[in-house]
Amino acid sequence: MSQAALPASPIRVSSPPTSTPAAPAAPAAPASEGAARGKGKQSQFRLIAACSLGNALEMYDFTVYSFFALLIGKLFFPSDSAYGSLLLAVATFGIGFVMRPLGGVIIGNYADRKGRKAAMTLTIGLMVLGTLCIAFAPTYASAGVFGSLMIVAGRLLQGFSLGGEVGAATAMLMESGGVKGRGFRVSWQLASQGVSALLGALTGAALYAALPQASLESWGWRLPFLLGLLIAPVGLYIRSHLQETHTADSHESSPVGRLLRAHGGTVLKGILATTAGTATMYLVVFFMPTYMIRVLHMPPSLSLLSGCVTGITLFVVSLVAGRLADRLPQRKPLVIGSLLFSVIAVYPVFWLIGHYPSVPLVLALSALLTASVNIGTTPMFLMLLEMLPAGVRASGISVIYSVGVTVFGGSSQFVVTWLLAKTGNPMAPAFYMMVCGVLSLGALLSLRERKAA
């Protein structure tokens, strides 16, 4: 966040007019400028930490559900078949995505009218309410359909919250400083999702390894959601000390209306451009543990290691991609190259996993797919941010991300699970990801890159 140098304090002198009062004051100017620069760096560091930590904790609550989908399906959505319970569980996971576009429109609009800080504080509170519903929901055996409805209500609240969180946090990261370094700042939004995946997977792996099945089913599965409630004191405290980066004229028309009228084409292309990264995130990072258990018949404690590996990969690759985005004169070739490689690689990756199933191979190839897509995701997000003016930036990214994730991410686990159940073909995730990759390539080729000042 840039800050002007502090003005030098006026000096009163009683010497004759022939003396020069500015001379003794000269050394004070550099000191004031240094203090201002130090304060600016400290403010920027605090803002990056606030956006990243808050987003990571919210994503943790939102995604830890996927790591316990098998248990939740059994406890809250009983069915005659194992795939039936899993389908209902992942459908409930996906139903949270239905609220994302609504949250993206309402909270994104709020962020463009009232400021990023106000919107980010609101999303923390909504996520806490949603997590409380899930953590304390009674099982189907004890309360019948009421417990199932509580799970659904919790997912809807979480989805609404996260729909607005991404746009406000990403816009604030971009606006917190000058053009130089904005790619690295924006990369923390995606890197924080890697942290959330790692934390969720570590928690799940530890619980599966430490607790017997009976304890996991009775109370152990609730622990990750209770831990996620830490977002309340941590997130609210850090975000309350942020400095606002955007103030709009309250008399202006709705930011969402202006966005769709003036930038509707960019929004549509942006939605399609995000499909490959979305599919990779929700199938390779969050669905792979379920795939390893259900299709490859691996132990739950070992399968959750895939979430750890892909989480670390996403964290590191996102930050590297941010640095590359700042150094490269054009970002689009990097994004296209990463998408082409991932589309070509996804089929042989799943073929190898299916024919030579082993934990080390699955971990290595999952990391490869995660890295190949996400090396271009941060530059792509930066391209979209720079194509949208500040007055509609939070709304634009919120709509692009939430709609893209809802259509191609929230439905991905349900569609792939349904395909696995109907066809028995373990290559179903590969086919889905290849289609998403082709859609992203087509949309990206039609976007014209331009750098904003």
User: pLDDT digits over 280-289, tens only?
Assistant: 888 887 788 7
Count of beta carbons in the 10 Å neighbourhood of residue 56: 23
**How confident is the model over 424-435, as a mean pLDDT?**
90
- pLDDT of 35 above 60: no
pLDDT digits (tens, 9 = 90+) for 90-120: 777 778 788 889 999 999 888 888 888 888 8
CB of 445 closer than 8 Å to CB of 379: no
Q: Is the pTM of this model over 0.85?
A: no
Q: Identify the band that residue 270 occupies on the pLDDT scale cut at 50, 70 and 90.
A: very high
Q: Identify the band that residue 249 occupies on the pLDDT scale cut at 50, 70 and 90.
A: low
> Rounded CA gap, 107 and 111, in Å?
6
**How confident is the model over 406-425, as a mean pLDDT?**
84
> Rounded CA gap, 364 and 311, in Å?
13
- pLDDT of 24 above 60: no
> Rounded CA gap, 289 and 363, in Å?
10
**How confident is the model over 72-89, as a mean pLDDT?**
76
- pLDDT of 295 above 50: yes
pLDDT of residue 102: 92
pLDDT digits (tens, 9 = 90+) for 154-196: 989 988 988 888 888 888 888 877 778 889 999 998 898 888 8
Q: Identify the band that residue 234 occupies on the pLDDT scale cut at 50, 70 and 90.
A: confident
> Rounded CA gap, 235 and 46, in Å?
12
Element (H, E) at 286: none
- Mention every residue, 6+ apart, whose C-beta is less than 8 A from residue 366: 284, 285, 288, 306, 309, 310
Count of beta carbons in the 10 Å neighbourhood of residue 125: 13
Count of beta carbons in the 10 Å neighbourhood of residue 354: 14
> Rounded CA gap, 388 and 395, in Å?
10
Nearest Cα to 274, choosing from 391, 190, 162?
190
Structure tokens at 362: 């699955």
Count of beta carbons in the 10 Å neighbourhood of residue 411: 19
- pLDDT of 55 above 80: no
pLDDT of residue 11: 38
Sign of CA dihedral 274, 279, 280, 282: positive
Q: Identify the band that residue 253 occupies on the pLDDT scale cut at 50, 70 and 90.
A: low
- pLDDT of 32 above 60: no
Q: Identify the band that residue 124 occupies on the pLDDT scale cut at 50, 70 and 90.
A: confident
Q: What percent of the chain has pLDDT over 90?
A: 23
Q: Identify the band that residue 1 occupies on the pLDDT scale cut at 50, 70 and 90.
A: very low
